[in-house]
Amino acid sequence: MSHFLISFDTDRIKDYVFATHRLSEIRGASALLDRLNRVDMPRLAGGTKIYAHGGSGLFLVPADQSGTTIENVQKGYWQATEAATITGVKVKLPEGFNEDSDLRPHWQRLGLKMRLAKDQNPDRLTAATHPFFRPCDSCGVRYATEDYIEPDRSLSLLCRSCYLKRQEDRRIKDEIPKLTSGKLKPQSGRLWHGLIPELKKDNYPFGVLNRPEDFDTLGRQSSPEGYMGLICADGNDMGRKLEEISSLKEMRRFAEAVDQAVYGAVKQAILKHLQPSPKATSLPFDVLLLGGDDLVMATTAQTAIETGVTVVEKFSELTKENYGRALSLCVAIILVHVGFPFHSLVSLAEDALKFAKKVRKKRALQEGLVNFLVVSSPNHLGFEEFYKETLRVQSSGQILYRTLRPYTVAEMGRLIQTKRALSDAPRGRLEQMREAVFKGRHQAMLESLATWVRWRDEAQKRQIWQFVESFSGGTPSIFPWVQRDGDYYTPVLDLVELFDFIP
Ligand SMILES: [Zn+2]
């Protein structure tokens, strides 16, 4: 009997999940997609599941059952969300194809078909205008059709899509206390149902804490107050690695290893850096998207940097452990005021992530990199523009880089350690160093050295010197600069920028 290989990929996931600034809608959307992907898709698609997570799915379906597979899944997505769509494509496999057969030519065809289908997808639906229709109070895009009672008892008029997101979030919110107290049996394939029992096993002190009600709740528990961290991570070279996979059996093993490693890395980062403080009013984090090689999470401001670094480090360790080969991911950490519009925030993070991946390729690294951005104004430039316009400058024939971003895990470790050693350093001195790197190469050197000489604490003085020196790669450094390929770099601004965000 012949088979079809059927592949699914959710369209514009982030547009759907991050359509509004409301935390309850973001995680409701994310939970809906996760359930559709991991639980409903395998049921609706039929056949044999190769994988179903991270917004995608791959199934081996007997030809006589494959006629309506794609339609069934698409209908399921629309019914549950009234907004999220998914693209499905299939290729016919030769007679006798099994899970050990050579997958590569079929995978290539499937990928090509997927790209074509995605290109032909119509743009987002825009509803027809009518003077008597009222737009949704939340997204403002679709028409309001549902009454929704807010937690403060006020009434909102929502579109069906936003309403379904809120409903899903409320459902999980009610489930969490039952999961932490052990009164509800966890369902497999659902994020919090898996995360809570596993964290509990490692003695994570949930107590009566639930997820943060909104971003302000995170901001109130943050230092500096009013800020939060957004962490975005994404696997490196995944497309190329998938193309090299020789059989469906191997594909299943690979997909499972990556999915499990992202999950495991997040779990370990939570245990290590995201313990609730004694006065906590909610968990100090929320996981907004997790699956496949993709992660988006929000944390308190002071925990974001170390959480991001641990995710990069552990992902590589865990893939080595459970796949036999270390894979890597890059992470971008944005430190930002909680009022910053979330959709723009996600684009800033994606931009910073793209930059890290580009540098990783250029430096021909196997490991993943950590990029970060402290957002200081509501119309902050994208990372690449900011890098070109603010962090990089021409000075007497050379290029000065007022940053060493993105960092490796080891480099970030040195930065964190240096911050801790300088914790009670005079802020005025740090500020002078920061201002100095915005001068020309010579002036920066003169002013930085003058500040350094006047630094009283000998141990701190040594620390900051060694910190700069540690990036010199053997060539003599000219404080605060280190030379790389004839250009000048300094890690001093990075250190000062992150100073308040590392406890
Ligand atoms: Zn809406």
The count of residues in the chain is 503
Q: How far is the CA of 297 from the centre of ligand 1 (A)?
A: 23
CATH code: domain 3-120 is 3.30.70.270
Q: How far is the CA of 10 from the centre of ligand 1 (A)?
A: 19
Question: 456 CB contacts (<8 Å, ≥6 apart)?
Answer: none
Q: How far is the CA of 319 from the centre of ligand 1 (A)?
A: 39
Q: How far is the CA of 476 from the centre of ligand 1 (A)?
A: 58
pTM of the model: 0.95
- Which of 192-197's residues contact partners 24+ apart within 8 Å by CB, and which partners? 192/31, 194/263, 195/263, 195/267, 195/287
Whether 213-380 and 3-120 are alike in CATH topology: the answer is: yes
Residue 377: predicted pLDDT: 80
Residue 124: predicted pLDDT: 52
Amino acid type, 476: P
Residue 122: predicted pLDDT: 66
What separation in angstroms does the CA of 399 have from each of 126, 306, 354, 481, 483?
47, 30, 22, 11, 10
Q: How far is the CA of 140 from the centre of ligand 1 (A)?
A: 6
Residue 461 structure tokens = 């003085």
Q: How far is the CA of 136 from the centre of ligand 1 (A)?
A: 5
Element (H, E) at 417: helix 409-421
The beta strands (E) that lie in 224-339 are given as 227-235, 285-291, 294-300, 329-337
CB 212 within 8 A of CB 26: no
Q: How far is the CA of 173 from the centre of ligand 1 (A)?
A: 20
Residue 66: predicted pLDDT: 93
Q: How far is the CA of 304 from the centre of ligand 1 (A)?
A: 30
Delimit the domains of the chain by residue range.
3-120, 213-380, 393-501
Residue 385 structure tokens = 């523009």
213-380 folds as Alpha-Beta Plaits (3.30.70)
pLDDT exceeds cutoff 80 at 132:
no
pLDDT exceeds cutoff 70 at 127:
no
The position carrying tokens 């170390």 is: 306
Give the chain's mean pLDDT.
94
Residue 470 structure tokens = 């540690």
Q: How far is the CA of 423 from the centre of ligand 1 (A)?
A: 46
190 falls in which pLDDT band (50, 70, 90)?
Answer: confident
343 falls in which pLDDT band (50, 70, 90)?
Answer: confident
Residue 348: predicted pLDDT: 95
Mean pLDDT score, 373-388: 88
396 falls in which pLDDT band (50, 70, 90)?
Answer: confident
Burial 221-234 (b: 16+ CB within 10 A, else e): bbeeeebbbbbbbb
What separation in angstroms does the CA of 465 have from each of 140, 407, 456, 460, 481?
53, 18, 14, 9, 11
Q: How far is the CA of 25 from the centre of ligand 1 (A)?
A: 9
Residue 453: predicted pLDDT: 95
398-435 pLDDT per residue, tens: 899 999 999 999 999 999 999 999 999 999 999 999 99
